[in-house]
Protein backbone atom coordinates (compact mmCIF):
# COMPACT_ATOMS: atom_id res chain seq x y z
CA UNK A 1 0.00 0.00 0.00
CA UNK A 2 1.23 3.49 -0.78
CA UNK A 3 -0.06 6.97 -0.07
CA UNK A 4 1.30 9.16 -2.85
CA UNK A 5 2.18 12.63 -1.57
CA UNK A 6 3.61 14.14 -4.77
CA UNK A 7 3.66 13.39 -8.49
CA UNK A 8 6.79 14.46 -10.39
CA UNK A 9 5.67 14.63 -14.01
CA UNK A 10 8.57 13.61 -16.25
CA UNK A 11 6.94 14.09 -19.65
CA UNK A 12 6.15 11.64 -22.39
CA UNK A 13 7.77 8.25 -22.96
CA UNK A 14 7.67 5.51 -25.55
CA UNK A 15 4.58 3.34 -25.13
CA UNK A 16 5.27 -0.22 -23.97
CA UNK A 17 2.13 -1.80 -22.56
CA UNK A 18 2.56 -4.55 -20.03
CA UNK A 19 1.06 -7.80 -21.34
CA UNK A 20 -0.62 -8.51 -17.99
CA UNK A 21 -4.12 -7.05 -17.89
CA UNK A 22 -5.90 -6.60 -14.58
CA UNK A 23 -8.94 -4.96 -13.03
CA UNK A 24 -8.73 -1.93 -10.76
CA UNK A 25 -11.40 -0.66 -8.41
CA UNK A 26 -11.67 2.91 -7.20
CA UNK A 27 -13.28 4.33 -4.08
CA UNK A 28 -13.53 7.84 -2.69
CA UNK A 29 -13.40 8.66 1.00
CA UNK A 30 -13.56 11.87 2.99
CA UNK A 31 -11.63 12.67 6.14
CA UNK A 32 -13.07 14.54 9.12
CA UNK A 33 -12.36 17.89 7.39
CA UNK A 34 -14.27 16.85 4.26
CA UNK A 35 -11.16 16.45 2.08
CA UNK A 36 -11.54 13.86 -0.69
CA UNK A 37 -9.14 10.93 -1.07
CA UNK A 38 -9.04 8.36 -3.88
CA UNK A 39 -8.11 4.75 -3.26
CA UNK A 40 -7.21 2.48 -6.20
CA UNK A 41 -6.88 -1.25 -5.70
CA UNK A 42 -5.54 -3.61 -8.33
CA UNK A 43 -6.46 -7.27 -8.40
CA UNK A 44 -4.50 -10.30 -9.53
CA UNK A 45 -4.39 -11.48 -13.11
CA UNK A 46 -6.50 -14.48 -14.15
CA UNK A 47 -3.52 -16.85 -13.98
CA UNK A 48 -2.74 -15.94 -10.36
CA UNK A 49 -3.57 -18.39 -7.57
CA UNK A 50 -6.07 -15.96 -5.98
CA UNK A 51 -7.13 -13.48 -8.70
CA UNK A 52 -9.92 -12.08 -6.51
CA UNK A 53 -7.44 -10.89 -3.85
CA UNK A 54 -6.20 -7.32 -4.22
CA UNK A 55 -2.49 -7.00 -4.80
CA UNK A 56 -1.80 -3.26 -4.60
CA UNK A 57 -3.49 -0.25 -3.11
CA UNK A 58 -2.60 3.31 -4.06
CA UNK A 59 -4.06 6.32 -2.29
CA UNK A 60 -4.15 9.91 -3.57
CA UNK A 61 -5.06 12.89 -1.42
CA UNK A 62 -6.40 16.31 -2.41
CA UNK A 63 -3.01 17.70 -3.47
CA UNK A 64 -2.02 14.71 -5.60
CA UNK A 65 -5.50 14.50 -7.14
CA UNK A 66 -5.10 18.15 -8.19
CA UNK A 67 -1.62 17.38 -9.59
CA UNK A 68 -2.95 14.42 -11.56
CA UNK A 69 -5.81 16.54 -12.93
CA UNK A 70 -3.35 19.21 -14.15
CA UNK A 71 -1.19 16.53 -15.80
CA UNK A 72 -4.15 14.98 -17.61
CA UNK A 73 -5.47 18.36 -18.74
CA UNK A 74 -2.08 19.08 -20.36
CA UNK A 75 -2.08 15.94 -22.49
pLDDT tens digits along 23-68: 899 999 999 999 999 999 988 766 767 666 778 999 999 999 999 9
The answer to whether residue 13 is domain-embedded is: no
pLDDT tens digits, residue range 3-22? 999 999 999 999 898 888 88
User: How many domains, in total, are found in the chain?
Assistant: 1
Say what the pLDDT of residue 18 is.
Answer: 87
C-alpha span between 71 and 50 (Å, rounded): 34
The answer to whether residue 14 is domain-embedded is: no
The answer to whether residue 1 is domain-embedded is: no
The answer to whether residue 15 is domain-embedded is: no
Domain ranges, residue 64: 23-75
The answer to whether residue 4 is domain-embedded is: no
Say what the pLDDT of residue 49 is.
Answer: 74
The answer to whether residue 34 is domain-embedded is: yes
Please state whether the predicted TM-score (pTM) of the whole model is above 0.75. Answer: yes
Q: How many CA atoms lie within 13 A of 75 on its CB side?
A: 10
Amino acid sequence: MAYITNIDFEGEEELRLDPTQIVARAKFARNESGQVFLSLRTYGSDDREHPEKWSQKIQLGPDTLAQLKRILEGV
